[in-house]
Amino acid sequence: MDNLDIKNKKEVVLFTKEEIHKKVRELGKQIGEYYKDKNLLVLSLLKGSFIFAADLVREINIPLKVEFIATTSYGWSTETTEMVNLLYDLEESIEGYDVLIVDDIADSGLTLEYVIQHLYKKNPLSIKSCVLLDKPSRRKTQLKPDYIGFEIPDKFIVGYGLNYGDYYRNIPYIFTIEDK
Ligand code: IMP
Ligand code: MG
């Protein structure tokens, strides 16, 4: 991993594997109760949410469908409207489904806002969102996710699907990389 200079950094654990699992179980239970008489379609945003979504769907005890969308964001200097780029879209119609968008983290909120606007045009029955982590202090939109695992301060978070230089997604706990 010679592209990552972490020699003078240390790892600080924010949420352990056990804490994450407990929270994911609680979210799955709440979601299962709310959607039990609905037609749930879980929409995982790639890449960041793939681990969270995989764990979450296994804690939702009702029939559901799983779909994926892939987006990238361009960075902070770009205009809002150009921030999010859709790389992979849904192939099938979502009319008649209650869509729950699942993402790893709500930061500026621009990704979720973009995906919600995009999905509205496809005419689903309803759209809600679920994030494992929420950094409300960074928000640049009105977005408030419907289901939130943990609210966190403005720090760069890694692990459990979240990347640093495209690595660390496989680490089973969530941590920050801080100066020694
Ligand atoms: P947004 O700013 O809410 O649009 O977030 C865009 C995406 O940036 C998220 O879905 C994450 O994949 C990524 N992201 C935001 N904050 C962090 C972080 O602290 N660590 C790793 N990825 C992040
Ligand atoms: Mg993401």
Find the mean pLDDT for residues 107-132: 96
- Evaluate: CB of 48 within 6 angstroms of ligand 1: yes
Residue 13: in which H helix or E strand, if any?
Answer: strand 9-15
- Evaluate: CB of 145 within 6 angstroms of ligand 1: no
- Token pair, residue 59, equals 């804690």
Is pTM beyond 0.85? Reply is: yes
- Token pair, residue 57, equals 């769907």
Residue 38 burial (CB < 10 Å; 0-12/13-18/19+)? middle
Tell me the catalytic residues: 107
Facing residues of 179 across strands?
9
Pairing of strands 65-73, 126-134: unpaired
Find the mean pLDDT for residues 67-95: 79
Looking from the CA of residue 162, the nearest atom of ligand 1 is: 21
Mutate to test the pocket of ligand 1, among 4, 107, 112, 150 (most ligand atoms within 8 A of CB): 107
Residues of the chain with pLDDT > 90: what percent?
83
